[in-house]
Chain A
């Protein structure tokens, strides 16, 4: 044993005693004294096998067995007993490490003792004030200390919940024993023998035990709280790498974590999947000539774990798939990237799509939601992501169509839109912060202008298109809009097309040079005449802007026309 450090280990074992025996051997052969507590629930045969497997080791003692239930005081009792036995049997110990049978030492025990020797009077125990929120995951925080918990969470869930509910409703609160401040932390610690003795031999220990017996998960608070009472040199960081997921279940370690674990320089990690033979064979790494006494640097592996937790709880924005199908407004990002919709521009400039494609470094599509087909850029039958251009499947899941397209394409997606197209995504796009909507209202009138359809048909089409666009405008003017919307009436747009187009392109690509030309505009002759005819036929054109009409309708006319 290096320096004057003498390490003892309390090993709590529940199931899988084979692996626990291996871990005990690693500790013992590294020079540590080991006290093993085996859950009374484990089978007698398994226990005998384990004892037989370890009988050649002198430094190993088995302690009185308790029945341990998760979240109950029995775990603390087992730890206390084992620690007492250990300290009694090996009075020369300077430190005691609490580990479990599935905690795998990653570095040689000599490095751990060497590391402890750098600051021999320090207690390594994570201990966070219970009133600082945020340590616990998916459980109660300070209520662990202020309520009574007589029932087992796993076996008596219903009673547990009713009991907590009742106490909350009645405002019942427990009184904390005087002189302690509740602290929480990882249940795996390494205390100096001095501090541990002080905790175990505290004259008020009975009082504390009685109090903690009815707290919730005391193995995460008993030593963490009492260490604060007896030690002034706490390094509030566990030497064991033990992470929990969002539901408070421990993460398991597998063979593919080997490299990351090695780089983390942690001393001990849990919880190892029993089948991870590669991991169990690799660790602990064999000690080198010069002992490496560097402190653990778990940042990278913690980041990797946090990433998966956030993938489980928040997911990837804009992804809809077999195991992520968020409800409306729980999407956490409706789409995965910015996209733009131009409405009415292709009616004013027939060549707008090609022209815009030349000025933006984006995929500029035609009417993706068009009534006949999805008009992908270049009009392939099969668009990006192998999405076919047919409308039936697109309209079955239009949202999936758009979000898949945006997610699978490396470049920004820009497409044309009009009231003729499928309108089901109006709310979706309006409430999506990724959407840039550039809308010229009333522009749908222009294709009707030279359609050479009979006037009755033109009028019918106009009624229908105007109604669709009015409904859309209502959406775009609602208070729920999150998209960036540029709304112009046709007359307004025609008054300064260059400026408005410039603004749009600048918004999408701030660094693009200012535009100097316009695409070919559709022939507007006869527009005023058509509008007048529509108005005379009882349909008030409401979206083109007033200045295009020869005589703007009065308010009474407006109401009547509706």
Chain B
């Protein structure tokens, strides 16, 4: 049946609905520390939702400070490991806390959409999780402001960075992660070439699946495996909204981060260091909370997979070296950023 409204209007209505939700639910965010007055025009901002990630935060913050993020805006979802206190002490962090349901806030995106709308306008905004580390072409010699400056000059408003799952060589709990340690020194392996891509014509984004999670945990039903496409870096405007995690945005022109005429556009990767020693505990906890996407089926699969003692590593795994390696393999591209 043909939809009653043309797609264009449906998308617009959805965008307005998303923005409306974000505004309506802003009340659940309780301010812990608000240093947003320090934000200068042209600063790059990071938006993060976190829950009980205290041990990961120091390295995470330093990593992005080094890249050139000037200010972090955190939503702390009911942590009880002291992470809110830790964040309060950081001079470049503003933090809000909430005990509301992660699931009912569309997996935190309502909160993030609100903060983006309120503080992200006219800034390049990076929306990531505490276990995601952005790499982009030339990231070893050029800072994030160099990238955003170039994107500005090229007339681009969004930058794609696919999620690349990283895992350790042995069992997940073999090496204990210490605070402040580079998680990628433990989880440094990735799958090079098992990604399936299809295009979502309604939102105009690419839908990427595959990687170790799908291979190991969803082998019985790989089509339900997690999506890996992400657009985490956006020059924000208050009328924008993330639709589902950072997989896609509205208006749909922001999802056009790929070339369809054979060329390559510049893109990066989010190295996803989820699979550390902290993971087993975390996944049991998350399973109890039942706050994740599609009935937490992802966490169910993990816990089943973990109990059988499987490792993610296989003979075809590659050890991560640098962005050049990712570019040679064809996971990222420098496009025309010479």
Contact = CB atoms under 8 A, between A and B. Distances in A.
Interface stretch (A112-120, A163-171, A317-325): A317-325
Contact of A323 (B143, B199, B316, B335): B335
A315 B262 CA distance: 6
A374 to B, nearest CB: 11
A316 B335 CA distance: 10
A441 to B, nearest CB: 31
Interface stretch (A47-55, A72-80, A394-402, A500-508): A394-402
A425 to B, nearest CB: 14
Contact of A254 (B141, B160, B225, B314): B141
B314 A311 contact: no
Nearest to B143: A275
B17 interface: no
A322 B257 contact: yes
Given A252-B150, A254-B138, A275-B149, A321 B315 contact: no
Interface in B191-250: 191-199, 206, 208-210, 212, 214-215, 219, 221-223, 225, 229
Which residue, A320, A394, A404, has most C-beta atoms of chain B within 10 A?
A404
Contact of B336 (A308, A397, A401, A408): A308
Interface string A286-321: 000000000000000000110011011111100111
Contacts of B222: 388, 390, 392-393, 396
B316 to A, nearest CB: 4
A322 B314 contact: no
A313 B261 CA distance: 8
Interface string B151-162: 001100000101
B265 interface: yes
B154 A249 contact: yes
Given A312-B264, A315-B259, A323 B338 contact: no
Nearest to A385: B193
Given A326-B259, A397-B198, A382 B314 contact: yes
A326 to B, nearest CB: 5
A251 interface: yes
B223 A392 contact: yes
Interface stretch (A30-38, A227-235, A327-335, A510-518): A327-335
A391 to B, nearest CB: 9
Contact of B142 (A247, A254, A314, A325): A254
A28 B137 CA distance: 37
B260 interface: yes
Contacts of A383: 316
Interface string A374-387: 00000010111111
A388 B330 contact: no
B260 A319 contact: no
Interface in A232-263: 245-247, 249, 251-252, 254-256
Contact of A386 (B153, B192, B336): B192
A390 B219 contact: yes
Contacts of A408: 192-193, 329
Contacts of B314: 382, 386
Given A321-B333, A408-B329, A275 B267 contact: no
Contacts of A153: none
A324 B258 contact: yes
Interface size grouping (class) on chain A: 35 or more
B145 interface: yes
B223 A323 contact: no
Contacts, number: 182
A501 B283 CA distance: 55
Most chain B CB within a 10 A radius of its CB, from A249, A321, A326, A388 = A321
Contacts of B51: none
B73 to A, nearest CB: 23
A385 B317 CA distance: 7
A254 B145 CA distance: 12
A466 to B, nearest CB: 31
Contacts of B261: 326-327, 330
A319 B264 contact: yes
Nearest to A274: B149
A408 B329 CA distance: 7
Contacts of A265: none
A327 B206 CA distance: 13
B194 A273 contact: no
A405 interface: yes
Nearest to B194: A387
A393 B196 contact: yes
B293 interface: no
Question: Which among B160, B219, B264, B333 has the greatest number of chain A C-beta atoms within 10 A?
Answer: B264
A252 B153 contact: yes
B330 A325 contact: no
Given A325-B258, A325-B259, A390-B222, A246 B192 contact: no
Contact of B193 (A304, A316, A396, A407): A407
B316 A256 contact: no
A308 to B, nearest CB: 4
Given A383-B316, A385-B316, A305 B145 contact: no
Contacts of A394: 196
Contacts of A314: 262-263
B266 interface: yes
18 contacts: A255-B141, A255-B142, A308-B335, A308-B337, A313-B336, A314-B262, A316-B330, A319-B264, A326-B261, A326-B262, A382-B314, A386-B314, A393-B223, A394-B196, A400-B197, A401-B196, A405-B193, A408-B193
Closest 4 CB pairs of A and B: A385-B193, A312-B336, A323-B267, A397-B196
